[in-house]
Amino acid sequence: MKSKGKSVAVLVVLAVVAAVLGFTAVFGLGTDKSLSYHNIKLGLDLSGGVAIVYQADKENVTEEEMADAVNIIQRRLDRKGWSEAEAAKQGENRIRVEIPGVEDAEEAISEIGKTAQLMFLTESGEVVLTGAEVEDARKEVGQVSRNSASEPYVALKFSAEGTKAFAEATKNNIGKPIYIAMDEDIISAPIVNSEITSGECMITGSFTGESAEELASLIREGSMPFNLTVMEMNNIGARLGYNAVETSKTAAVVGVALVFLFMLLAYRMSGFAADWALAIYLALEIIAISALNVTLTLPGIAGVILSVGMAVDANVIIFERMKEEMRGGKTMRASVQAGFSRALPAIIDGNITTFIAALVLYFMGTGTIKGFAYTLMIGIVISMFTAIFVTRLLLKCLIGVGINKPYLYGVKKKQGGELK
Amino acid sequence: MSFNIIKNRKKFMALSLILIVVGIAAMIFNASQGKGVFNFDIEFTGGTAVTVDMGSEFNNDDLAAVCSEVTGQSNPQIQKILGTNEASIKLQSIDGETRTALSNAIIEKFGLAEDSILSVQDISATVSGEMQRTALIAVLIACAAMLVYITIRFHDFKTGISSIIALVHDVLIMLAFYAVFRVPVNNAFIAAVLTVVGYSINATIVIFDRIRENKGQGNYTAVEDLVNSSVKQTLKRSVYTSLTTFFAIGAVYVFGVKSVKEFALPIMVGIISGTYSSVFLSGSVWYMLLGNSREVFEENE
């Protein structure tokens, strides 16, 4: 910075940048508070809810079958009104389902994981047709036989192929029952009176309106290409999740305040510049996590803390170097220059090494490890920028506006070089 | 010279060795008592875990009795979570219906509120086995990748090896801590170890960077002086960085919920260990690895 005026201008700009970023991170933009911490998606360990990992009960599943299964589960989740819930393929033959804010995990598990294989069987156990040949299924209410009261039932409409198969089966089984089974359970066993060629059929039984709707929906959504086994179930109560979030917020505020204070006491003006840069870093980190839609979990928070540590570390390395240079008698400006350039290799090597580790963990690891690695990588990239460039710019400008006594930067007076 | 790390290197290494041996002894002792090498959570062993807020003081045996009655398992593990009235129950894997029955039975028997069941977890043995494997493989590959990078950047394989030894040391100290204090080993354990690995490697690199720089300037004729001075020059940085990171994680420990505490405490131990190993061990290990080539090095300078 050549002139005082220019330094002042840059400082003002950086103050405005910090304020705008800080405001965005805390309050967000617009009514939906986008880009703020309010908008950060919390993992189930923080928000409460149910996570289930299912595994296909079949060898050599194809990509297509897996995609079908994920779609079916997603539709079931949507129908349940769990709009935040997500189903995703995990590894070769697993599906991970996360449902935030659900209280009764057991119900969720059994309903979502149902195979929903609808089958029509003859008395001898021969499969006549399956849910795949059903074109439409809906809940109806009406008389199911002459003289009976009105009750809910499920009306089915077969595809052309299904119509043919059903006609054939009814023709061959007059006077005998046809079993309608869902998964392992026989839900209805009507006796065939005559051949049915209309391609329509009703499933009766002791349905309530709700259970008829449920069955119709399950049939409509299609059946799973395989059975699912629950491999892992994790149900975090809402209270625990709430406590975790609230206490983590307090911890974050106190921890950051302590770090700020420490830097200020240890390095005075440099510490002030570091805190300023750190504030920008924290705001950027929050905005990045929000913007990139990262799901923040406990290990993710660990990644953030480690990157905060590394951001501060970069500044500590730089400032210690600067002090050495000042003691050696260099001018303030030269000390800043030399301090930064000499500290740079250590900072870069340290950060790159950690970044490499994070990258490997991200690609190799599963859930927990991935979350940690992801926030760590984001943190390293941002902190390298703020701890090096922003801090340097701030220091140059602070010196530029005339705050240039070594003792202001933590060098004891007797050690201080010539003031120039 | 008062600050002579190389001269005292054996003492520093002995201290580390003692701590690690204590850890191994604790592991053997615990295993012989049938409690397992570590206090493994079900994430590592498979099974069902339930956390309940009991609201007030409770008797482990009463709770165990309810669990046995509902599940038919003779040996449910009940642990009171320190500083709370919460109970952690560990069982062999039970199915959904039994889980519901167990929750209801506990709520009814102890007259608890509906939301007292804080968490329920069920993990199959297959998954827990895989998790250990992938975590281990990921960490090993990460170490190998770091070793390659450090070797390239410092033109010295021994620097890389020394850094990795310091890192393995820190992980061993953490493991010793987990074994001695029976801190639950779960997902958070993996995250804690990874954090310390990242921290430790960073701390060590700063010292080797200084060694690299001082060596390049040719200010030192003896390797011993080179290492000692480099460590000394970076000492303040090592301490300050540890302190700030310690503040951040310390706040998490003080304010956090149980799962957070279990995760913060080992990290704090790891940070102390990481600082110790980078200051007192990494340079010494490098010095020892140089071995005979040390003299060549000294002649060259």
Tens digit of each residue's pLDDT (9 = 90 or more) over A289-347: 999 988 888 778 878 887 888 888 899 999 999 988 888 888 888 999 999 999 999 89
pLDDT value at residue A290 = 92
Kindly list the residues from chain B whose CB atom is less than 8 angstroms away from the CB atom of residue A109.
96
Mean pLDDT computed over B246-264: 83
DSSP state of B72: -
The shortest C-alpha distance from A374 to chain B (Å) reads 12
Side-chain half-sphere CA neighbours of B139 within 13 A: 21
Query: Of all residues in chain B, what percent carry a pLDDT higher than 90?
Result: 42
Top pLDDT among B133 and A19 is at: A19
Which of A237, A317, A369 is opposite residue B206, by nearest beta carbon? A317
DSSP state of B114: G
Kindly list the residues from chain B whose CB atom is less than 8 angstroms away from the CB atom of residue A258.
247-248, 250-251
Q: Hey, are the CB atoms on B118 and A240 less than 8 Å from each other?
A: yes
- Asked whether B138 and B144 are in contact (CB, 8 A), the reply is no
Dist. CA A64–CA A403, nearest whole Å? 67
Dist. CA B290–CA B173, nearest whole Å? 25
Helix or strand (DSSP H, E) at B181: helix B157-181
Dist. CA B122–CA A235, nearest whole Å? 9
- Asked whether A399 and A339 are in contact (CB, 8 A), the reply is no
Token pair recorded at residue A94: 């697993």
Cα distances from A341 to residues A19, A293, A331, A378, in angstroms, run: 29, 35, 15, 24
pLDDT at B3 over 80: no
Mean pLDDT computed over B63-72: 91
State the pLDDT confidence band at B10, using cuts at 50, 70 and 90: very high
pLDDT at B259 over 80: no
- Asked whether A50 and A105 are in contact (CB, 8 A), the reply is yes
Q: Is B120 helix (H, G, I), strand (E, B) or coil?
A: strand
pLDDT value at residue B295 = 64
Nearest to B69 by CA among B104, B112, B36, B43: B104
CA B204 to chain centre: 17
DSSP state of B2: -
pLDDT value at residue B174 = 95
**Is some CB atom of chain B closer than 8 A to the CB atom of A121?**
no
Burial class (CB in 10 A: 0-12, 13-18, 19+), A2: exposed
Q: Is B191 helix (H, G, I), strand (E, B) or coil?
A: helix
Which of B51, B119, B145 is opposite residue A360, by nearest beta carbon? B145
The pLDDT tens digits for A151-170 are 898 888 899 988 999 999 88
Which of A244, A256, A258 is opposite residue B259, by nearest beta carbon? A244
pLDDT at A418 over 50: no
Cα distances from B73 to residues A208, A413, B65, B101, B118, in angstroms, run: 38, 72, 10, 14, 22
Q: What is the 3-state secondary structure (H, E, C) of chain A?
A: CCCHHHHHHHHHHHHHHHHHHHHHHHHCECCCCECCHHHCEECHHHHCEEEEEEEECCCCCCHHHHHHHHHHHHHHHHHCCCCCCEEEEECCCEEEEEEECCCCHHHHHHHHCCCCCEEEECCCCCEEEEHHHEEEEEEEEEECCCCCCEEEEEEEEECHHHHHHHHHHHHHCCCCECEEEECCEEEECCECCCCCCCCEEEECCCCCHHHHHHHHHHHHHCCCCCCEEEEEEEEECHHHHHHHHHHHHHHHHHHHHHHHHHHHHHHHHHHHHHHHHHHHHHHHHHHHHHHCCCEECHHHHHHHHHHHHHHHHHHHHHHHHHHHHHHCCCCHHHHHHHHHHHHHHHHHHHHHHHHHHHHHHHHHCCHHHHHHHHHHHHHHHHHHHHHHHHHHHHHHHHHHCCCCCHHHHCCCCCCCCCCC
Q: Is B184 helix (H, G, I), strand (E, B) or coil?
A: strand
Backbone angles phi, psi at B41, to 5 degrees: -80, 170
pLDDT value at residue B288 = 92
Backbone angles phi, psi at A197, to 5 degrees: -110, -5
Which of A106, A239, A368 is opposite residue B191, by nearest beta carbon? A368
Nearest to A307 by CA among A253, A377, A221: A377
pLDDT value at residue A2 = 58
| Residues within 8 A of A (CB atoms), B 264-293 only | 267
Top pLDDT among A3 and B271 is at: B271
Mean pLDDT computed over A343-366: 87
Instruction: Provide the pairing of β-strand A179-182 with A118-121.
Output: antiparallel
State the pLDDT confidence band at B227, using cuts at 50, 70 and 90: very high
Mean pLDDT computed over B266-271: 92
State the pLDDT confidence band at A420, using cuts at 50, 70 and 90: very low
Give the CA diameter of chain A. 111
Domains plus CATH for chain A?
4-42+237-409 (1.20.1640.10), 49-111 (3.30.70.3400), 118-221 (3.30.1360.200)
What is the signed CA dihedral for B60, B66, B71, B77, rounded to 10 degrees?
A: 0
Sign of CA dihedral A313, A319, A322, A328: negative
Nearest to B16 by CA among B294, B195, B275: B275
Chosen from A46, A235, A262, A263 to mutate, greatest number of chain B CBs within 10 A: A235
**Is some CB atom of chain A closer than 8 A to the CB atom of B256?**
yes
pLDDT at B156 over 50: yes
The pLDDT tens digits for A24-33 are 999 988 888 8
**Is some CB atom of chain A closer than 8 A to the CB atom of B54?**
no
**Is some CB atom of chain A closer than 8 A to the CB atom of B99?**
yes
Beta strands in chain B (DSSP E): 39-40, 47-53, 77-80, 86-91, 117-123, 184-185
- Asked whether A192 and A170 are in contact (CB, 8 A), the reply is yes
Side-chain half-sphere CA neighbours of A136 within 13 A: 7
Which of B119, B135, B244 is opposite residue A312, by nearest beta carbon? B244
**Is some CB atom of chain A closer than 8 A to the CB atom of B100?**
yes
Dist. CA A387–CA A351, nearest whole Å? 12
The pLDDT tens digits for B184-195 are 888 778 878 888
Q: Hey, are the CB atoms on B255 and A233 less than 8 Å from each other?
A: no
Kindly list the residues from chain B whose CB atom is less than 8 angstroms away from the CB atom of residue A298.
187-188, 191, 259-260, 263
**Is some CB atom of chain B closer than 8 A to the CB atom of A305?**
yes
pLDDT at A75 over 80: yes
Token pair recorded at residue B203: 């701390």
The pLDDT tens digits for A76-133 are 888 888 878 889 898 888 999 988 877 777 877 888 888 888 888 888 888 888 888 8
pLDDT at A226 over 90: no
Dist. CA A323–CA A271, nearest whole Å? 12
State the pLDDT confidence band at A419, using cuts at 50, 70 and 90: very low
Which of B53, B145, B205 is opposite residue A349, by nearest beta carbon? B205
Domains plus CATH for chain B?
9-34+127-300 (1.20.1640.10), 47-123 (3.30.70.3400)
Dist. CA A353–CA A98, nearest whole Å? 33
Q: Is B33 helix (H, G, I), strand (E, B) or coil?
A: coil
Cα distances from A60 to residues A66, A87, B71, B159, in angstroms, run: 11, 21, 35, 46
pLDDT value at residue B299 = 52
Q: What is the 3-state secondary structure (H, E, C) of A207-257?
A: CCHHHHHHHHHHHHHCCCCCCEEEEEEEEECHHHHHHHHHHHHHHHHHHHH
Mean pLDDT computed over B281-298: 82
Most confident of A64-73, B17-26, B125-134: B17-26
Mean pLDDT computed over B128-132: 82
pLDDT value at residue B300 = 52
Q: Is B59 helix (H, G, I), strand (E, B) or coil?
A: coil
The pLDDT tens digits for A171-191 are 988 888 888 888 878 888 888
- Asked whether A279 and A264 are in contact (CB, 8 A), the reply is no
Quick count: other Cβ atoms within 10 Å of Cβ B191? 27
Q: Hey, are the CB atoms on B259 and A298 less than 8 Å from each other?
A: yes
State the pLDDT confidence band at A417, using cuts at 50, 70 and 90: very low
